[in-house]
Amino acid sequence: MGRKPPEADIDETDLEVEGSAHAAAGPVAVGVALKRAVEQMGVRRATRTLLKVNQADGFDCQGCAWPDPDAGHRHRFEFCENGAKAVTEEATLRRVGPAFFAEHPVHGTAGLASRSDYWLGQQGRITEPMVLRPGDSHYRPIGWDDAFRLVADHLRELDSPDQAVFYTSGRTSNEAAFLYQLLVRAYGTNNLPDCSNMCHESTSFALEQTIGIGKGSVSLHDIETSELIVVAGQNPGTNHPRMLSALEAAKHNGARIISVNPLREAGLVRFKNPQKPSGIVGHGTELADLHLPIRVGGDFALFQAWGALLLEWEAVDREFVERHTTGFQEYADGLATLDWDAVERSTGLTRAQIEESARMLADSSATVFCWAMGLTQHRHAVATIQEVVNVALLQGNIGKPGAGLCPVRGHSNVQGDRTMGIWEKPPDAFLDRLRDEFGFEPPRHHGVDTVEAIRALRDGTAKVFIGMGGNFVSAAPDTEVTEAALRNADLTVHASTKLNRSHVVHGRTALILPVLGRTERDHTGGRPQRVTVEDSMSAVHASKGPLDPASPDLRSEVDVVCSLAQALFTGDHPGARIPWSEFRSDYATVRQRIASVVPGFDDFDRRVTEPGGFVLPHPPRDSRTFPTAAGRAVFTTSPLQVLEVPDGHLLLQTLRSHDQYNTTIYGLDDRYRGVKGGRRVVFVHPDDIAELGFVDGDRVDLVGEWRGERRVARGFRIVGYDQPRGCAASYYPETNPLVPLDSTAEGSNSPTSKAVVVRLVPAETP
Ligand SMILES: Nc1nc2c(c(=O)[nH]1)N[C@H]1C(S)=C(S)[C@@H](COP(=O)(O)OP(=O)(O)OC[C@H]3O[C@@H](n4cnc5c(=O)[nH]c(N)nc54)[C@H](O)[C@@H]3O)O[C@H]1N2
Ligand SMILES: Nc1nc2c(c(=O)[nH]1)N[C@H]1C(S)=C(S)[C@@H](COP(=O)(O)OP(=O)(O)OC[C@H]3O[C@@H](n4cnc5c(=O)[nH]c(N)nc54)[C@H](O)[C@@H]3O)O[C@H]1N2
Ligand SMILES: [Mo]
């Protein structure tokens, strides 16, 4: 593949399967990253861009939300293979302009709608606003002012502001996110679903209930100085590669690591640090001291069992428990009768394995618990994360050096977007401050989350969908239902950098608004602007792109929001009194407003200019203060729930390959799992393959049965793969048709993407 985009789409007959790799990162990773960057950008642009990634004077890598080292301690190359791919994807020299759209009809046999997200994304950057009007076969250019007028007219015609849905993906800067929620609330709704609803919502909900704040409690320094790190339900080698450097540093300081994962993911087993000679030539570092090959969904039971053993062994920080927590006795009583048979069935682990790992916990006086989607996307995700908190509280592992809770966020500013008020359930205190600052009464009733938004569009109670980034159609569950929902809309609008399926599965009228990405210089209002983001550890810092924009017609997200607001709010509408043009021409004025509305942002504009930015307050981390209703950290008692899978079925988790960013498919090489040239694979234990009457390499359809409904995803190649019996894994988003819209986590309403009960049947079309 060269500078030119691929003409052909994915051809699954090119699929090749080799054994899985044993080490992550290392020189191969560097090579792959540079090759892709040079292919799409050329040598000079690639070098110039990559040298600015995650530097104090550069831009924040859009790859993930992992924090950067302190300003003085960064490498010259402070990025990873997959960060470089994320940057390349955006900084590519490929372009999708009016000629492209004139050439390609949206529908029909060779239409854009017949293409995969891979093909669409590989075509390049969108250069001009485009519109698809009712009855049209092709997208056509539209001027920016006409585009804003079109959206404003639709919004004004609705019977109620609640008939519009305003989605956000997690790349949006703090400034754009703050203005976006301001626009939406001034318009009159809290319909602000975001990718978080499908991601760490279970975490935010569980932490809010137990420690009083929905964010993690550790710093990078805590990781590097901990005695024990538990990494559960997370694949850092692929999704947060720079985390491996922190884990390596921790190991050098004597930490031990437990990996809890159905799969033996490459990065956790062995890691070659590309920034060090030993990583280039040596065997790398053995990261995990103990790997627990847990059954999918077994973490709830594992953490209960750990709690029970710590109690039995009296490995409890009594002083912390007494001074800072509530609910301990009930929790301890609940675990006294723990059903060990159920624990072993649920986890697929032996009692010896659980005791060995619990012993490591007992022996550690500073433990960090890390987790991601393997814990959050389950029916009992909230209860599971509360069990993680229970175990942390037992040993006082919150608010002390080297210890804490570390949910590892996904999108690079997903945490910041929530801080800025992108939330369908805003707290009253936030709305009060918004009212006092801007002089209008924000709506108080809750809005729709992602799942509810799909229902509202499906049922016609919502008619307009606006997406600030993201790829709603492909990222959301139950693809057929979601596609029908979007097609049912009067208007779908996407502020995007690249083409994706949400542009081609659309409402009666569809708009694409092309925006600047992180890599690009933002010269809005005639002056250079910068934006800010918040990472997974609550550090806020500035981001400024070095490159010329992909096209002179791009606008910043801040500009898009302000311009839409100006088109929408006229006359004596309270929204018309908000100084949108001032905000657009000087983002510092937005930061001043953020400082007045959002706690922890005092003197924001000045503090963010300091190298490395600043860290937001976190009462449990900073002073063991727990802002819950009880004023203490809360032990939660929940009855053990075991996920039972009927005979002949498998429990399927849907995960990321090493060559994608969510629905953006960079390439077809999942190097660490040995899959190349295609993506439709299902990983199954060799004994399960045999027991189900198949052989490795067979092509099957995946059939989901849920509450009497049947869902099918077609044409997957079976790949024998080491994991607990009864489990299976396959890539997202190809498997999203199998995730039922109504199958969500209790409490957070996140789709259960990591627990889909399926049957394998011989493929209908071989
Ligand atoms: N390169 C790259 N980076 C990314 C992304 C990307 O797509 N590509 N996505 C970004 C986003 S938005 C996010 S949210 C993060 C996602 O980061 P991850 O959460 O690491 O992403 P997944 O690929 O979904 O991996 C889930 C991991 O959990 C394991 N797992 C599955 N089910 C269970 C279970 O029941 N229990 C346990 N203990 N483990 C389980 C899987 O085997 C897998 O290792 O990464 C972010 N960074
Ligand atoms: N089955 C299953 N489903 C899942 C998951 C899973 O593990 N399994 N994971 C879930 C998770 S964790 C998440 S976070 C969601 C992801 O859901 P989304 O965030 O909606 O999806 P992405 O694929 O990250 O969005 C990619 C698109 O964002 C646009 N984009 C990229 N950069 C920018 C930018 O700077 N500005 C703007 N305006 N647009 C930009 C591009 O047009 C690109 O096509 O998917 C969820 N869905
Ligand atoms: Mo995510």
DSSP line for 319-349: HHHHHHEE-HHHHHHHHHT--HHHHHHHH--
Give the alpha-carbon dihedral of 443, 166, 661, 95, to 10 degrees. Answer: -140
pLDDT at 706: 93
Nearest to 685 by CA among 384, 321, 295, 184: 295
Q: What angle do CA 155, 161, 162 make, to 5 degrees?
A: 125
256: confidence class by pLDDT, cuts 50, 70, 90: very high
What residues have their beta carbon closer than 5 A to ion ligand 3?
199, 410
Mean pLDDT of 173-198: 98
Q: What Cα–Cα distance (Å) separates residue 695 from each residue in 256, 446, 689, 691?
A: 39, 50, 6, 10
**pTM score, two decimals?**
0.96
285: confidence class by pLDDT, cuts 50, 70, 90: low
- 123 CB within 6 A, ligand 2: no
How much distance in Å is there from the Cα of 317 to the middle of ligand 1? 32
Residue 513 has pLDDT above 90, yes or no: yes
Cα distance between residue 463 and residue 509, in whole Å: 11
Cα distance between residue 542 and residue 204, in whole Å: 24
pLDDT at 282: 52
281: confidence class by pLDDT, cuts 50, 70, 90: very low
Q: What are the contacts of 332-338 at 24+ separation with CB within 8 A?
A: 333/637, 334/637, 334/638, 334/639, 335/304, 335/307, 335/308, 335/311, 336/308, 336/311, 338/304, 338/305, 338/308, 338/640
Sheet holding 16-17, edge to edge: 16-17, 675-676, 669-670
Residue 279 has pLDDT above 80, yes or no: no
Cα distance between residue 258 and residue 290, in whole Å: 5
- What is the residue with the minimal CA distance to atom 34 of ligand 2? 517
- 87 CB within 6 A, ligand 1: no
- 657 CB within 6 A, ligand 2: no
Q: How far is CA 270 from the centre of its chain?
A: 24
Cα distance between residue 561 and residue 422, in whole Å: 14
Strands 228-232 and 256-260: parallel
pLDDT tens digits for range 683-697? 999 999 999 999 999
Q: Could you tell me which residues come within 8 angstroms of residue 521 by beta carbon, excluding any fewer than 6 positions away?
A: 528, 544, 545, 546, 547, 548, 549
How much distance in Å is there from the Cα of 376 to the middle of ligand 1? 10
- 199 CB within 6 A, ligand 1: yes
pLDDT tens digits for range 369-418? 999 999 999 999 999 999 999 999 999 999 999 999 999 999 999 999 99
DSSP-based helix, strand, coil % in the chain, nearest 5: 40, 20, 40
Nearest to 644 by CA among 319, 312, 301: 301
- What is the residue with the minimal CA distance to atom 42 of ligand 1? 263
Structure token digits, residue 5: 């985009």
Share of the chain above pLDDT 90, in %: 85
- 660 CB within 6 A, ligand 1: yes
Strands 140-141 and 130-132: antiparallel
Cα distance between residue 763 and residue 766, in whole Å: 6
Residue 166 has pLDDT above 50, yes or no: yes
Q: How far is CA 229 from the centre of its chain?
A: 22
Lowest mean pLDDT among 38-52, 81-95, 575-589, 704-718: 38-52
Structure token digits, residue 347: 């986890």
Q: Which ligand is nearest to the CA of 663?
A: 2
Lowest mean pLDDT among 8-12, 185-189, 283-287, 517-521: 283-287
- 513 CB within 6 A, ligand 1: no
Cα distance between residue 202 and residue 385, in whole Å: 8
Structure token digits, residue 312: 């039995």
Cα distance between residue 485 and residue 463, in whole Å: 10
pLDDT at 332: 98
pLDDT at 492: 98
Cβ atoms of residues 730 and 681 within 8 Å: yes
Q: What Cα–Cα distance (Å) separates residue 92 from each residue in 36, 126, 517?
A: 10, 11, 11
The kind and range of the H/E element at 434 are: helix 428-438
The kind and range of the H/E element at 88 are: helix 81-91
Side-chain-side CA neighbours of 57 within 13 Å: the count stands at: 2
pLDDT tens digits for range 538-575? 999 999 999 999 999 999 999 999 999 999 999 999 99
Lowest mean pLDDT among 465-469, 554-558, 577-581, 637-641: 637-641
Cα distance between residue 423 and residue 601, in whole Å: 18
Count other Cβ atoms within 10 Å, centred on residue 317: 18
Cα distance between residue 488 and residue 111, in whole Å: 20
Cβ atoms of residues 558 and 175 within 8 Å: yes
Cβ atoms of residues 137 and 526 within 8 Å: no
Domains annotated on the chain, with CATH = 95-193+449-512+556-601 (3.40.50.740), 201-412+630-634 (3.40.228.10), 650-762 (2.40.40.20)
Structure token digits, residue 178: 């703050």
22: confidence class by pLDDT, cuts 50, 70, 90: low
Of 656, 658, 736, best ligand 1 pocket probe by most atoms within 8 Å of the beta carbon: 656
Structure token digits, residue 476: 């959301």
Lowest mean pLDDT among 132-141, 208-217, 606-615: 606-615
pLDDT at 274: 66
- 373 CB within 6 A, ligand 2: yes
Helix H, strand E, coil C: the string for 98-123 is HHHHHHCCCCCCCCHHHCCHHHHHHC
Residue in the structure block whose two tokens are 């710590």: 310
pLDDT at 726: 97
Cβ atoms of residues 126 and 498 within 8 Å: yes
At 693, the amino acid letter reads G
- 235 CB within 6 A, ligand 2: no
pLDDT at 580: 98
- What is the residue with the minimal CA distance to atom 12 of ligand 1? 410
Nearest to 416 by CA among 200, 227, 222: 200
pLDDT at 214: 97
Cβ atoms of residues 407 and 371 within 8 Å: yes
Q: Is 429 exposed, middle or buried (0-12, 13-18, 19+ CB in 10 A)?
A: exposed
- 241 CB within 6 A, ligand 1: no
Structure token digits, residue 556: 């910043």
Cβ atoms of residues 523 and 481 within 8 Å: no
Cβ atoms of residues 494 and 487 within 8 Å: no
Structure token digits, residue 294: 């847990």
Mean pLDDT of 333-357: 97
Residue 1 has pLDDT above 50, yes or no: no
Cα distance between residue 735 and residue 642, in whole Å: 24
280: confidence class by pLDDT, cuts 50, 70, 90: very low
Cα distance between residue 348 and residue 691, in whole Å: 18
Structure token digits, residue 160: 């109620």
Structure token digits, residue 272: 């070659």
Alpha helices for 232-380 (secondary structure H): 236-239, 241-252, 266-269, 277-281, 299-312, 318-324, 328-336, 340-347, 351-363, 373-376
Side-chain-side CA neighbours of 137 within 13 Å: the count stands at: 9
Q: What angle do CA 294, 750, 154 make, to 5 degrees?
A: 155
Mean pLDDT of 289-300: 97
Longest CA–CA span in the chain (Å) reads 72
pLDDT at 762: 98
Residue in the structure block whose two tokens are 């137990």: 210
278: confidence class by pLDDT, cuts 50, 70, 90: low
Strand, helix or coil at 48?
helix
Q: Tell me the Ramachandran region of residue 621: left when phi exceeds 0, alpha when psi lies from -120 to 50, beta otherwise.
A: alpha
Radius of gyration in angstroms for the set of CA atoms belonging to the chain, rounded to a whole number: 25
Cα distance between residue 412 and residue 640, in whole Å: 34
Residue 79 has pLDDT above 90, yes or no: no
How much distance in Å is there from the Cα of 379 to the middle of ligand 2? 22
How much distance in Å is there from the Cα of 236 to the middle of ligand 1? 8
- 663 CB within 6 A, ligand 2: yes
Residue 766 has pLDDT above 80, yes or no: no
- 735 CB within 6 A, ligand 1: no
Whether omega for the bond prior to residue 262 falls within 30 degrees of 0, making it cis, is: no
